[in-house]
Structure 1
Amino acid sequence: MPKSEEKDPEWHLDEPRTRKWMVQCVICKTIGYRADAPKQFFGRYHLVKHFKQMKLDATGVCEDCQRFK
Protein backbone atom coordinates (compact mmCIF):
# COMPACT_ATOMS: atom_id res chain seq x y z
CA MET A 1 0.00 0.00 0.00
CA PRO A 2 1.56 3.34 -0.99
CA LYS A 3 2.03 6.06 1.58
CA SER A 4 -0.53 8.82 1.41
CA GLU A 5 -0.48 12.23 3.01
CA GLU A 6 -3.83 11.67 4.67
CA LYS A 7 -2.93 8.51 6.56
CA ASP A 8 0.81 8.61 7.24
CA PRO A 9 2.45 11.51 9.13
CA GLU A 10 5.85 10.22 7.97
CA TRP A 11 4.85 11.08 4.43
CA HIS A 12 5.45 14.76 5.23
CA LEU A 13 9.07 14.07 6.07
CA ASP A 14 9.65 12.53 2.65
CA GLU A 15 7.63 15.03 0.61
CA PRO A 16 9.83 18.02 -0.41
CA ARG A 17 6.86 20.38 -0.77
CA THR A 18 5.96 20.02 2.92
CA ARG A 19 9.40 19.16 4.31
CA LYS A 20 10.69 22.67 3.65
CA TRP A 21 8.15 24.02 6.16
CA MET A 22 9.09 21.53 8.89
CA VAL A 23 11.55 22.02 11.75
CA GLN A 24 13.04 19.82 14.46
CA CYS A 25 14.34 20.84 17.88
CA VAL A 26 17.99 19.87 18.37
CA ILE A 27 17.41 18.97 22.04
CA CYS A 28 14.07 17.14 22.29
CA LYS A 29 13.92 16.09 18.60
CA THR A 30 10.26 17.12 18.39
CA ILE A 31 9.13 17.78 14.83
CA GLY A 32 6.75 20.60 13.97
CA TYR A 33 6.02 23.09 11.25
CA ARG A 34 7.59 26.52 10.96
CA ALA A 35 5.77 29.44 12.53
CA ASP A 36 6.41 31.52 9.41
CA ALA A 37 4.81 28.97 7.07
CA PRO A 38 2.35 30.56 4.64
CA LYS A 39 -1.39 30.15 5.15
CA GLN A 40 -1.71 28.19 1.91
CA PHE A 41 0.68 25.65 0.45
CA PHE A 42 0.57 22.05 -0.71
CA GLY A 43 -0.14 19.74 2.24
CA ARG A 44 -0.73 22.42 4.90
CA TYR A 45 -4.02 20.89 6.06
CA HIS A 46 -2.40 17.55 6.86
CA LEU A 47 0.77 19.13 8.23
CA VAL A 48 -1.29 21.10 10.77
CA LYS A 49 -3.30 17.97 11.55
CA HIS A 50 -0.25 15.83 12.42
CA PHE A 51 2.26 18.38 13.81
CA LYS A 52 2.23 21.47 16.00
CA GLN A 53 3.57 24.88 15.11
CA MET A 54 7.10 25.41 16.45
CA LYS A 55 9.34 28.42 16.84
CA LEU A 56 13.06 27.70 17.11
CA ASP A 57 15.76 30.10 18.27
CA ALA A 58 18.95 30.72 16.28
CA THR A 59 20.53 27.57 17.74
CA GLY A 60 17.60 25.33 16.75
CA VAL A 61 16.06 24.96 20.23
CA CYS A 62 12.26 25.03 20.63
CA GLU A 63 10.43 27.27 23.08
CA ASP A 64 9.70 24.36 25.46
CA CYS A 65 13.38 23.42 25.75
CA GLN A 66 14.45 27.07 26.07
CA ARG A 67 12.65 27.19 29.42
CA PHE A 68 14.93 24.47 30.79
CA LYS A 69 18.17 25.77 29.30
Structure 2
Amino acid sequence: MTDDQSLTPNQQKVVDEFEKARPGLGAIAENNIRNNDKTGWAESIADTPSDELVVREGSSRNSFMYRRIGG
Protein backbone atom coordinates (compact mmCIF):
# COMPACT_ATOMS: atom_id res chain seq x y z
CA MET A 1 0.00 0.00 0.00
CA THR A 2 1.35 3.44 -0.85
CA ASP A 3 0.81 6.69 0.99
CA ASP A 4 -1.40 8.15 -1.74
CA GLN A 5 -4.04 5.41 -1.47
CA SER A 6 -7.11 5.79 0.70
CA LEU A 7 -7.56 3.43 3.61
CA THR A 8 -10.30 0.82 3.41
CA PRO A 9 -13.25 1.32 5.77
CA ASN A 10 -11.87 -1.38 8.13
CA GLN A 11 -8.39 0.14 8.07
CA GLN A 12 -9.83 3.58 8.85
CA LYS A 13 -11.83 2.04 11.69
CA VAL A 14 -8.63 0.59 13.18
CA VAL A 15 -6.94 3.99 12.96
CA ASP A 16 -9.96 5.65 14.62
CA GLU A 17 -10.14 3.02 17.39
CA PHE A 18 -6.43 3.41 18.19
CA GLU A 19 -6.87 7.18 18.27
CA LYS A 20 -9.85 6.83 20.65
CA ALA A 21 -7.84 4.52 22.90
CA ARG A 22 -5.00 7.01 23.16
CA PRO A 23 -4.53 10.20 21.14
CA GLY A 24 -1.55 9.87 18.82
CA LEU A 25 -1.80 6.10 18.37
CA GLY A 26 -3.97 6.53 15.28
CA ALA A 27 -1.02 7.95 13.33
CA ILE A 28 1.15 5.02 14.40
CA ALA A 29 -1.56 2.55 13.34
CA GLU A 30 -1.92 4.27 9.97
CA ASN A 31 1.84 4.13 9.44
CA ASN A 32 1.82 0.40 10.25
CA ILE A 33 -1.04 -0.18 7.79
CA ARG A 34 0.73 1.73 5.03
CA ASN A 35 3.97 -0.20 5.68
CA ASN A 36 2.15 -3.49 5.25
CA ASP A 37 5.08 -5.13 3.47
CA LYS A 38 6.99 -4.94 6.77
CA THR A 39 4.16 -5.20 9.32
CA GLY A 40 1.39 -7.32 7.80
CA TRP A 41 -1.24 -5.07 9.39
CA ALA A 42 -3.33 -4.64 6.23
CA GLU A 43 -3.72 -8.42 5.81
CA SER A 44 -4.57 -8.87 9.48
CA ILE A 45 -7.21 -6.16 9.29
CA ALA A 46 -8.65 -7.63 6.07
CA ASP A 47 -8.95 -11.03 7.81
CA THR A 48 -10.71 -9.58 10.89
CA PRO A 49 -14.50 -9.08 10.94
CA SER A 50 -15.44 -5.41 11.26
CA ASP A 51 -17.40 -5.98 14.48
CA GLU A 52 -14.20 -7.21 16.18
CA LEU A 53 -12.31 -4.01 15.37
CA VAL A 54 -13.13 -2.19 18.61
CA VAL A 55 -11.31 -1.03 21.72
CA ARG A 56 -11.72 -3.36 24.66
CA GLU A 57 -10.21 -3.34 28.11
CA GLY A 58 -8.49 -6.39 29.48
CA SER A 59 -5.74 -7.47 31.80
CA SER A 60 -2.42 -9.15 31.31
CA ARG A 61 -0.82 -11.74 33.55
CA ASN A 62 0.54 -9.03 35.84
CA SER A 63 -3.01 -7.63 36.22
CA PHE A 64 -2.07 -4.38 34.48
CA MET A 65 -5.19 -2.93 32.85
CA TYR A 66 -4.84 -1.78 29.27
CA ARG A 67 -6.84 -1.04 26.15
CA ARG A 68 -6.36 -3.02 22.99
CA ILE A 69 -7.87 -3.64 19.59
CA GLY A 70 -9.59 -6.96 18.97
CA GLY A 71 -10.75 -9.83 21.14
Fold conserved (TM > 0.5)? no
Which structure: greater helix fraction? 2
**So what's the TM-score if we normalise by structure 2?**
0.29
Per the normalisation by structure 1, the TM-score is 0.30
